[in-house]
Amino acid sequence: MVNAKVLVVDDEEAIREMIAVSLEMAGLECIGTDNAQTAHSLIVDKRPDIILLDWMLPGTSGIELARRLKRDETTNEIPIIMLTAKTEEDNKIQGLDAGADDYVTKPFSSRELLSRIKAVLRRTHGDKNKAILVEGLALDPISHRITADERPVDMGPTEYRLLEFFMTHQDRAYSRAQLLDQVWGGNVYVEDRTVDVHIRRLRKALAPHKYDHLVQTVRGTGYRFSTKF
């Protein structure tokens, strides 16, 4: 999406400036503020297409603002990318919980930020009911079917949801815990290693069609769905 409007909420002027420059260079419109209060007005008023939100804000915290936005029907569809310091790993979980669509750890390169923004916009702005196609692998949410080069692929409900999540969140490594949160749902108590088994089942279903290479192991971290490497 060209000329999307991005709102940057961060209390450090320098960071906002840095982001603004690189985003504008990429053809995105950029507005910014240093506090949640103003941020909310800007959101209601200017209706940005995406929000970059620092997790540590003076006054109302970022997480609080995110919750508030996700609760309100008029704003809950605006995607949020949270910006978090490396040390605040825990926040990632809270963040995804509060409805963030992705997170980027500081410090980050503008290239990475940009690619994340584009990924999120592609995901949220696309038709939710449109079939997703990756190489010859297609997932059609309407008929609830998977096809590999036109041939049906048989898999269980959990594998379907897992694949659906992967296909809408490509090129990013997810920990087992994150996958459990996103695919199983946040309030389920399930062993981490169970994810391995379902990954295995998903690969097994894809293998006959030669698409199992898309489900990749990221050792020490978790799994990733990608056409690269």
Partner DNA sequence: TTTTACGGTCATACTTCTGTAACATACTTT
Partner DNA sequence: AAAGTATGTTACAGAAGTATGACCGTAAAA
Contact positions vs a second copy (CB under 8 A): 142-145, 152, 156-157, 171-173, 218-221, 224, 226, 228-229
> Shortest Cβ distance from residue 111 to DNA (Å)?
26
User: Using CB distances below 5 to 8 A depending on partner kind, what does residue 171 bind out of a second copy, DNA, none?
Assistant: a second copy
**Both tokens assigned to 213:** 């290479």
**Both tokens assigned to 207:** 């293998």
CA distances from 156 to 38, 83, 129, 150, 152 (A): 47, 35, 20, 19, 13
**37 vs 217, beta carbon nearer DNA:** 217
| Cα separation, 59 vs 65, whole angstroms | 10
> Shortest Cβ distance from residue 165 to a second copy (Å)?
15
**39 vs 162, beta carbon nearer DNA:** 162
**Both tokens assigned to 76:** 């809950």
The identity of residue 165, as a single letter, is: F
Contacting residues toward DNA, per CB under 7 A: 155-159, 184, 188-191, 193-194, 196-201, 203-204, 217-222
Neighbours of 179 (CB within 10 A): 21
| Cα separation, 36 vs 59, whole angstroms | 7
User: Using CB distances below 5 to 8 A depending on partner kind, what does residue 115 bind out of a second copy, DNA, none?
Assistant: none
User: Using CB distances below 5 to 8 A depending on partner kind, what does residue 108 bind out of DNA, a second copy, none?
Assistant: none
> Shortest Cβ distance from residue 139 to a second copy (Å)?
12
User: Using CB distances below 5 to 8 A depending on partner kind, what does residue 152 bind out of a second copy, DNA, none?
Assistant: a second copy
Q: What is the DSSP letter of 155?
A: -
Length of the chain: 229
